[in-house]
Structures are given as structure tokens and as C-alpha cells.
Structure 1
Amino acid sequence: MSGVKLPDINKNGVITRADLKAQISQDDDEDEQFEEVSDADEDEEFKSDEEGDFELEKLIQRSKKEDEEEKISIKKSSPRPTLNKNPEVIDDFILNFLKAKGLNRSLDVFQEELYEHKQLKNKGDDFNMVVPDVYHQIRFLEDQKTYLETQLNKEDAVGTLQKMRDEKEFHKRSHMRLKQELKEVHKALKQYKKHTEKYDPVLNELRRKLEKAIKDKALVELSRTKLEAKMNAMNLQNTNNGSTTNTDKDSTINKTKKTSTMNTDASTATRKKTDSDPRDSRLPPDNRPNPNRTNPIQPPSVDAMTVSDHYEGHTMAISSIAIHPSSPIVATASDDMTWKMYSLKDGKIFLSGEGHNDWIGGIDFHPQGAHLCTSSGDGTAKLWDLINAKCVLTFTDHTHAVWSCIFNETGDFVVTSSLDQTARLWDLNSDRCRTTFRAHKDSVNHAMFVPYTNNVITCSADKTAQLWDIRLDANGNSTQTLFGHENALNHVAIDPQSEKIATSDYDGKVFLWDMRRLEVPIGKINASEGHSAQKMCFDPSGKFLAVACEDNAVRIFSTTSANLTKVNDLNHHKDGVLDVKFDPDGKYMVSCGSDCVFVLYQ
């Protein structure tokens, strides 16, 4: 074989193990001479290869030593006599055969006839010819076969050895090339790192200026809000006092400015949406007590909850549910563009509403229970008077579908979330949008008030949740951002004590956050592995969290520890579960889903 020097063959035609090891050792010595091109700075990377070569060299030396000891022992041993068996002649073979078989008469006849024949001395007869030794021939052929097989194995071993050498050289060159590339990459990284370090002081200074500007802006907004309130009060008082004396003057001014007023009607109408209004509701006090903290509720026995009843009534998926604050009444919102109210006493529908032009995604009761708010895919939110059974107010400022609508505990404000990447705060007394929250980069999927505070929290498809202060954020500046999710957020829930926040995403993961420290979550769990975790709800005690999962289940977790231990798994829907709610007293729980039914658990 070309490129490979074969070991010498002994007199029996066999390559000994010692010769093959010596050849391998010689090849390894040649390879070691080639390896001298290695980089001295990166010797540690070849530590394992050197150890392997050392072990191979040690094995070869030990084999050589064993072969030498074997040769010495052979020389010291005394020669032994050998016995060679020659083939028999024909007559001896026949005689021995007849005698061995006990054919005595045949033996006598054969001897007499053979003796007479030899006496005649026939020259053409040769009784000294040798009987062919078949066994000897077979042994000779077997020896030849063994020799040929040995030669064949030797050729295969040499070919394999050469192939392994070629692969070794290839991988060695590839390794050297990768080492050089890695060295260049490290060098480039060091240069980039050194280059970026120059900008750290500038970034720190810009960050400090930004924080200072945000604080100054918040103070200015507070001052401006106070001044606007004072000016509106003064203007209203002046209008009432001087309406009679200024009639002629106002008439003259209106006549002279008639043209300019007509040209600015559109801009004036737009400006009125953001200017303060005397009918605006007062913001609740900041330090109002939370009754859920001072009067704790006994936790419900969620581990023993079972299905009590099923309710049907919609022709399409039920996307959201709401429980009346004081009566056993459940309101449902559906993709069939209607909402319905059920009495849990008899399971009958006693009120329904139509008016939206697309699916209804959110529904919530007023804290007093006399009104209902709904949000729809037609980009509107509607306020319904349940006593008079009619729609009394429609909010149309959103430009895309509205996912949710939630009242605050006073009933004066509603917060909505929309596909247009904003959330809006609505004042029900002045019938207008008080604040627009614009920091999210994707659809805002849910928004709600933090109970008994002036804060709003939102979650978005941009994988973040944000906390807002409605006193400061007239221009939509968030006060805190919650990072950690790896996929779009579906829902955010807050316990009644305003101590914990839960967020869910499309991967089925649920994060638990502490309101006092929102930098990192205090607990994580995969509530619906491989499926989306939809809406969530805390029980009135704040110790349990129910999660509506897309895999047809409602799972309840304990929030007393950061591990979020599962305490119940309810699988009573035939399709994905979209929403779940506890009643205010914790006596029962309701869930709804894509199977067009809602289920009552007790």
C-alpha cells in the first residue's frame, strides 16, 4: 500500500504483535515531529492529546518488554525431541488394517499370496509405494489458509492505520485553523470591549439626566393639573357672575371672529378631549384603607371544589365572565356579539344585550351592581344601565379592538385595553377619556386597577407588564416595568389585598410578583405546558390563584409560598378555558370557555 511501510514478515509468514507495535511506535514518533507546529500559548488545549500519546507510548514499551522476556525464556529452555511420523507403505497398511479388524483368515491368505508374489519378483509391481497421508495434506492446506488470512488481516490493519492517520492529520489541521480563528475573535472582542468602555461615562450621564427630567416632568404635570383646576373654577365663577354685563361685548367679539371660529372647530373639538372638565371625577385619596387587609376572609376549600352545574345560552365561545358584587348573578360576554345575565338560583337568562358590531371580549359589573360595562372587537366600550335595560354611554376613542374593561372600586372610572397598543382611563361622570397610556410596543391585552390605590397595571404582547400612576401619568409614562416573560402576556391579576401580582403568557407560564419588589418575580410555574395560560383570578383571601388553561382545564395554585403548589385540577370543559372568576365571598367559582358553556364549581 502506497505511503505505508509494512513490517517485516517472519519465517512462518506471520506479522508478530511486537512488529506491529514497533511500527505504530515509529509512526507516532514521526507524528510527534509534525506536531511541533503547535502554538505555545495554547498548550493547555492539547493536554488530553499528550496524555493519550503518553499512555500509548507506555503500552508499547510494556509490550516490547514482555516480548524480550519471552525470547529470553525460550533461549533458556532446553530443546525437546520431536517425533516425525512417516507414511506407511501399501502392504504394511493392508496388514495393519486386517489385523486391527480381526480378519485373521483374510490376513493369512493375503500374506501367503503376497509372499508368493514377491518370490516371483515381478518387476512391474511396486509394493514400496507410500499411501497418501490425507491428514497431513489437510494440515498443510490449513496452514496455508491461516497464513493467507494473516496476510489479509495485516493488509486490512495497515489500511485502517493509514486511514486513521489521515483523519488524525485532517482533524489536527482543522483544530489549528479553529484555534487561529478563535484567537482572532478574542482579539476582536477585546478591541470592541475596550471601545465600548469609552461610552459608559456618557451613558451614565445621559441616564442621570433622563431620570432627573422624568422627575421634573412629573412635578410640572402636578403643578399644571392644580393650576388648571383653579383656573376652571375661577372661569366658571366669573361666567356665572358676569354673564349679563358681558353679553354685548361677547356678541361683538363673536361677530368679529366668526370666520376664525369656523375654521378651528375641528382642533377645538380635539382639544376638549384632553383639557380638564368641571364634571371630572375627583381622584380617590391616596391613603384610603384596604378593607381586604383589615378584615381578612377565610380561604375557601378549593381542593374540595367540584362541578355543581353547567349553563348554556350562547352560540359561540364565551370569552369573559363577571360575577355580580352582591347577588348570585353571572354575566357572560361571547363571540356571538351578545352579553347575557344568568341567575344561579334557577340557571335562567333574565337579561341580555345587543349593540356591538363584533365579538365582545370584556365584561365587568359596576361596584354598585346597577351598571355593566362591555368591550368589543368593533373598537368600542359600552356602559349599560341594567335597571332601564339600555346602553347609556359608548366610548369610541380606541382605533382597534378593545380586549378588556374594568371598573375601579369607586365606580367613577373604567380602564380599557386595546389592540391599538394603548390603554385608556375613562371618567364616567364627564363621559371622556382622562388618560391614555402609550408605553407598550404591541397590543395591550389586559388592564386593571390595583385595588384601593390610584395605580393601573397593564400587560402586553410585547412580553412586559407596566404599572402606571393615574395622578402623574397624564401623558402615559409608566412608573414600573415588569420583565421576565419570553412570550406575549395574556392576562394580569392582582390579589384583593394589593400585595401580589400574577402574569400569564402564551407559553403557559405564570409568574408571581411582590408589589413591594417588582424587579424579579418571586415565583414561577408552568401552569399549562405546551398550551396558553389564559385569564386568572385570586380568591378573596388572596391565598389561591385559579388559572384558565387552553388545554381544557382550570388549575388552582396556592400562593402562600413562592413554589405555587397545585391544589386542584378541574377538567370539565370540552374545549379551551378562557376565563375564571371567584365570587366576592369565596363560596363558589365560575369558568367559561370555547365550548359555549360556563361551569359553576362549589
Structure 2
Amino acid sequence: MAAAAASKARHGTDAREFDDAASDDGFQYEEVDVDALVSEALGPSADGALDDIDRMLVEVERDGAAGDVSAGPPRAAQPPGPEGSGDGGESFGHSASGAALPGAGAPSVETRPTVIDDFVRNFLIRAGLLRSLESFNREWFEMKARGKLRPEDATPVPDVYLRNQGLEDVVTRLRVELKHAEEVASRARSTWDQFRKERDFHRMHHKRVVQEKTKLLIDLKRLKRHYEAYEPTIEELKAKYESAMKEKMLMRLERDRSVAKLRSLEQQDAVNPHLSTVVDPPPMAEFVHGPTVEGHEDTVSALAAHPTRPIVASASDDGTWRMWEVPSGKLIMTGAGHGDWVADVAFHPHGTHLASAAGDGRIMVWDFAAKGRAAVMSDHTQVAWGVDFHYTGDFVASCSMDQTAKVWDVGTGKCRQTLRGHVDSINAVHFQPFSSNLVTGSGDKTLSLWDARSAHQIHMFVGHSNAVNDASFSLRGDTIASCDADGVVKLWDLRMVAERASYDLGEAAVNKVAWDASSSIVTAACDDKMVHVINVSEARVLGAMRGHEDHVQACVFDGTGKFLVSAGSDKTIRVWGRDSDLSGKSEGEGDE
């Protein structure tokens, strides 16, 4: 039993050394009670067996103390029992018996090869196989106690295993480094692919730039040859340009002189010869119904008298205008070209041209000598209702449903002035004789007097209670006659700038008014199928001429003053005059 106690004490010391070694190499070791295991394995004869084990351990310790403690090749055998050398079997400068090494001046460290059982224990602990470790220790010490272990079983671990373990560590470390290198290589590969794509892109871009450069060089060479071939032409054109500029300057000077002359002519109103001329008024009481002309296919909306000859022009809703001889009613000329009905016509002061206004908004000037159109003006945006010539014949005034009146240059066909001020359709426009003033009558119930040279509104006449259908100057130019849709005719004195007289002709609308050459008689074409006659000098209504079967749209005195011509919605033109002046007896008579 004493031997068992000594063995137990020794094993306790060895266990502490085992724990110290385990703390050094980082492995966890399990303390095993060898005596208990041996006693359990041997049974009642444990004391004798333990004595034998103690004796064997003493021999091993003696052999170890007598051996070489310096590092060298691994020993052939290890003493049985747990030496507690740990992983690597390290000893700290003393032998198993605790005696210091002879000749050693200071403690030294000796590295011993790991024995097989420690190697297995370390492996099981590192793998976490604790139950396997317990079974291994039990069986190992049991066989060792029984002496069944061969000497070669307790030898150190062959160097190849240690090398394999080292190589495994190196392989593990290399695998980590390889994985890291693969990650770096992957990133480098993506970067390289990006660089390769950029290289290809820049290479392609460079090739394209080179191609464009080559193309530009070729184009430049071709253009250079082209321009060199055109050098003589450029010099020739330059000479022509200089010559044209000189001619342009001369033409500009000539134009400025012509414009100055034209402006001086426009600003100078001519003397009205009718102011000093005394003309007897026509004997309206003796006027009877003369020939009836049927030539249009629709309503005859307007009439105009030739300034010097017994000729009348008519405008119709059938889209044509016609010229007739008075009083015979012989057709002289027909004009067609408007895209809609013709609303009004006017003769040139010299009788060589005719102006027409139509529902298509266009103003046309017709040349009798050329038998065609001389000018077309189309700045109006809506229906053109009226047209009239300036006394010089160089300008035409027109009015439209677009609430404007315009003054046109006949020579160029351009609009010179636009008169704005009315707030409804302008139904009539007429120039003052031998003047640049004109009058307009509008659906806004007013008349306006304008200066055509400056487009300035001189005066507005207010007095009508309904839309003004027509307004016309007397030949003397001092009085305006106007009519409205209520059947009222008013006279306006330009010298007093006031209303002179008013005549109510009934409930039927008055469509047109006309002056005779003496400026004493005014005739009114009405919707009551009659032409009313007013004596301005006597300020009374003389009577009415009956004969039309529908609304009377227009009336006018011919250039000789002998005849009155009327037209209406019954598509007829009727001539009125004294029986002696008419070519034949009329079937009807004029009623007063």
C-alpha cells in the first residue's frame, strides 16, 4: 500500500507537470487517475501489480537520467507510464529525479520527440473526441500495467507523421493564401477585362478617328480643287456684284425721287371742278320705266357708272360682273374670276379699269385693254363689301367684314394703309371727290371720315339707330348721304361736321344711296321694291319708282346724268329716264 501511495504521489506530480506542459502548447489535457484504473483492472491483486509498476518507473527514470539530455535523434523507446511531457515532451533543465544536469551553468530547454500515446491524446483532444480519449487512456494503461505493450509501441512518433502534420499546416496556410490569391486574381481578372474593353473601345475609336481624318483630308483636297476651279467664276461674279451695287444705288436714288414726287402729289388735293360748275338737276318727275335687262343668273348687288360714257357695270351673286350700254341694255363685257359672289364694283376715273370686291375677300382690278386682271389684293380675312377708286386712279380703297378698310397701291398690289376703328363689319367705303379723304359706313351704326394718307380718323358721325348699309359723297364733296337698315337716309354736312337732314322712307331697309351730278337729288334703293327719290335742295321726298319685283339692291345715275339705273334681287337691271331720252316707249310709267 505504501508503494501505491508513493506511486499516487508521483503520479500527482506528473499530472501537474502534464498540466503545465498542456498550458504551454495550447492543448487541453485530461487528468487520469491511473491507480484507480489499474486497481479496477487488476482486482484484488492490485497492490502487487502497483509495486511492479513503481519498480518499472524507477528503472525508467534511472535510465533517463543516465541518458543524453541534449537534442538529438529520437530515442528508440520511452518508459511506460504518463511522463507528462505534453505535446513535444519538453523538460526544463532537470532530469526526471529533479537533479540538475552536470556541467550546466544555467537552465536549458530540451526538445524531445512526442511519443505515440501523447500524439494520439493530442489528436483526440484537438478533435474533441473526449470519450474516445477516456477509452484510449483506460485501455492503454491497462495494457501497460499488464505488460502487454511491446517496446516499439512506446517509441516516439515517427518523423513522417510530424512532417505530415507540419505539411498539413503548411497546406492549410497555403490554401488560405491560395483562396486569397484567387480572390485577388478574380478582381484582377475583372479589372483586366475592363481594361481590355477600354483598350478595344479606344482602339476602335482611334480607328474611326483615323478614318474620319482620312475622309476629311480627301474632302478638303476635293474642295480645294473645286474652289480653285471656281476662282475665275468668283472673280466674274464679284465684278457683276459691284456693277449691280452701283446700279442699285442709282435705282435707289431714282426711287427716292419718285417716292418724293408721289408723296407730294398725294398730299396735294386737286381742285374740285364741280364746285364752280352749275348743273341742273334731272327732271325726276318725268322719269319713266325704260328697258329691263336680264343677264345675271342671281341677285344683282351693285352698280357703277362709267365716268364719261353711258355705260354701267353690274356685280352679281352669280360670281360675275358685266358691263352694259345705257339705255339699250346691250352687253359689252363680262368678267369672272372671283371664287364667290361679287359684292361691289367701281370704275377707274379714266374709265380704263374696273375694281371688284367679292365674298372671297379679294379685290381685283381689271384692265379693259388687256382683257384681264391687272392686280389682285387679298389681305382681307373675310368678305369684302365695298370698293372705290381714288381720283388719281393710283389707289383703291376697300372695306370688309373683318372690321377694317384698306388702301391699296394699284401698281404694286400692296396694301398702303389699314384703317381700324370700327367694331363691326364695314359695309361701304367711298373717296371724297378730288381728295384723299374717305368715308366708311359700318354695322356699328356709325360713319367715320378718314385721312387715307395717314390712316387717321378725322371724325366719327353718330346718329343712325341701326347698321349703316351705304355712305356716299356728293360730287361737290361737301355732303355725305348715308342709309341704314331701319329705312332712314341721313345727310351730313362736312363743313359743319353735323347732321344736316334725316329722311324716314319706311320700315324697309335702304341698301344704297346715289347722288346726281347737280348734288341736289339723292336716290335710295330699298327692300320695299322701290327706288325713293329725295330732293336735297328742297329737303323733301319727291316720290318712288316702282317696277322691281323684289328688293332693290343698288341704284346709280349714268355719266351723262340722263338716266337712272337700278338693280335688285329679281336678277334684273332697270333703266329710268325721260321718254324722249329713252330709245323707245316704256310699258310702265314712273309714279310719284
CA-CA distance at 1:392 after TM superposition: 1.7
Looking at structure 2, the residues matched to 460 and 339 of structure 1 have their Cα atoms a distance apart, in angstroms, of: 24
Q: Distance in 2 between matches of 1:566 and 1:573?
A: 20
Supply the distance in 2 between the matched residues of 1:319 and 1:249 (Cα, whole angstroms).
51
Q: Partner of 2:478 in structure 1?
A: 499
Q: 1:560 aligns with which of 531, 534, 537?
A: 537
Q: Please show how residues 504-515 of structure 1 align to structure 2 within 5 Å.
A: 504-515=483-494
What is the match of residue 325 of structure 1? 307
Instruction: Give the drift of 1:351.
Output: 1.2
TM-score by length of 2: 0.53
Alignment pair present for 1:436 and 2:413: no
Return the alpha-carbon distance in structure 1 between the equivalents of residues 363 and 352 of structure 2: 17
Separation of aligned partners in 1, 2:410 and 2:269: 23
Decide whether the 8 Å contact of 2:343 with 2:358 is kept in 1: yes
What displacement does 1:592 show?
0.4
Distance 1:279 1:545, change over 3 A: same
Q: What whole-Å deviation, never above 9, does each CA across 1:334-373 have from its counterpart, x for those lacking one?
A: 0000111122264221311111110000101111111111
1:591 aligns with 2:569: no
Q: 1:358-409: per-residue Cα shift (whole Å, max 9, x none)? A: 0000101111111111110001010111122111210001000101111122
Cα deviation for residue 244 of structure 1 reads: 6.3
- Describe how 1:22-421 pairs up with structure 2 within 5 A: 247=242, 278=259, 281-282=262-263, 283-344=265-326, 346-421=328-403
Aligned letter for 2:468?
A: L
Gaps of 5+ in 2: 1-237, 246-255, 578-592
SS of 1:374 mapped into structure 2: strand
What SS does the corresponding residue of 2:274 show, helix, strand or coil?
Answer: helix
Secondary structure, in 3 states, of the residue corresponding to 2:266?
Answer: coil
Q: Distance in 1 between matches of 2:492 and 2:352?
A: 34
Is the CA contact (8 Å cut-off) linking 2:309 and 2:560 kept in structure 1?
no
Partner of 2:211: none
Count, aligned residues: 330
Q: Please, what TM-score do these two structures have when normalized by structure 1?
A: 0.52
Pair 1:581 & 2:556 matched: yes
Query: Post-superposition shift, 1:493?
Result: 1.2
Q: Secondary structure at the match of 2:285?
A: helix
Q: AA paired with 1:540?
A: A
Q: Are the counterparts in 2 of residues 552 and 573 from structure 1 also a CA contact under 8 Å? A: yes
**Cα distance in structure 1, aligned partners of 2:523 and 2:476:** 16
Are residues 583 and 345 of structure 1, via their aligned partners in 2, closer, same or farther at CA, if it must alter by over 3 Å? closer
Match of 1:544 in 2: 521
Does 1:530 find its partner at 2:512? Answer: no
Q: CA deviation at 1:596?
A: 0.2
Q: Distance in 2 between matches of 1:365 and 1:509?
A: 27
Alpha carbons of structure 1 residues 248 and 321: separation in structure 2 relative to 1, 3 Å = closer
Deviation by residue 1:221-264 (Cα, 9 ceiling, x = unmatched): xxxxxxxxxxxxxxxxxxxxxx96973998xxxxxxxxxxxxxx
Distance 1:249 1:378, change over 3 A: closer
The 8 Å contact of residues 279 and 430 in structure 1, kept in 2 or not, is answered as: no
> Mapping of 1:450-529 within 5 angstroms?
450-473=432-455, 477-518=456-497, 520-527=498-505, 529=506
What SS class does the counterpart of residue 521 from structure 1 fall into?
strand
Residue 521 of structure 1 aligns to which amino acid in structure 2? Answer: E
How much does 1:279 deviate? 10
Q: What are structure 1's unaligned runs of at least 5 residues?
A: 1-242, 251-274
CA spacing shift, 1:522–1:280, aligned 2, 3 Å: same
Structure 1 residues 566-594: Cα deviation after superposition (integer angstroms, max 9, x where no partner)? 11310110000011101233111100000
Residue 584 of structure 1 aligns with an amino acid whose one-letter code is: G
Distance of 2:392 and 2:310 partners within structure 1: 21
Q: 1:346 to 1:279 in 2, by over 3 A?
A: farther
State the one-letter code of the partner of 2:563: Y
Bigger drift between 385-394 and 352-361 goes to: 385-394
Larger Rg: 2
Distance 2:275 2:244 in 1: 59
Q: Distance in 1 between matches of 2:486 and 2:546?
A: 19
Deviation at 1:297, TM superposition (A): 1.3
- Give distance in 1, aligned partners of 2:244 and 2:281: 68
State the one-letter code of the partner of 1:488: A
Q: Which residue of 2 aligns with 1:571?
A: 546
AA aligned opposite 1:509: V
Deviation at 1:281, TM superposition (A): 4.5
SS in 1 for 2:457: coil
Distance in 1 (CA, whole Å) between partners of 2:342 and 2:260 is 29
Work out whether residues 578 and 593 of structure 1, in 8 Å CA contact, stay in contact via their aligned partners in 2.
yes
Task: Find the aligned partners of 1:306 and 1:329 in 2 and give their Cα distance.
Answer: 19
- Cα distance in 2 for partners of 1:458, 1:554 equals 23
Answer yes or no: is the 8 Å Cα contact 2:443–2:468 preserved in 1.
yes
Structure 1 distance, partners of 2:433, 2:555, is: 19
Structure 2 Cα separation of the partners of residues 280 and 347 of structure 1: 43
For 1:346 and 1:304, locate their aligned partners in 2 and report how far apart those are by CA, in whole Å: 19
Q: Is the 8 A contact 1:280 1:429 kept in 2?
A: no
Residue-by-residue CA offset, 1:253-312 (whole Å, 9 max, x unaligned): xxxxxxxxxxxxxxxxxxxxxx99959954435352111111221211112211111100
Q: Which amino acid aligns with 2:558?
A: D
Do the aligned residues in 2 keep the contact of 1:277 with 1:430 (CA within 8 Å)? no
Q: 1:315 to 1:280 in 2, by over 3 A?
A: farther
Task: Give the conservation status (yes or no) of the 8 Å contact 1:579–1:592.
Answer: yes
Q: Distance in 2 between matches of 1:326 and 1:288?
A: 19
Change (3 A) 1:287 1:353: closer
C-alpha separation in 1, matches of 2:260 and 2:378: 19
The one-letter amino acid of 1:569's match is A
Provide the C-alpha distance between the structure 2 equivalents of 1:525 and 1:540, rounded to a whole number of angstroms: 21
Q: Which amino acid aligns with 2:576?
A: Y
For the residues of structure 2 that align with 1:438 and 1:244, how far apart are their CA atoms?
48
Q: Which amino acid aligns with 1:380?
A: R
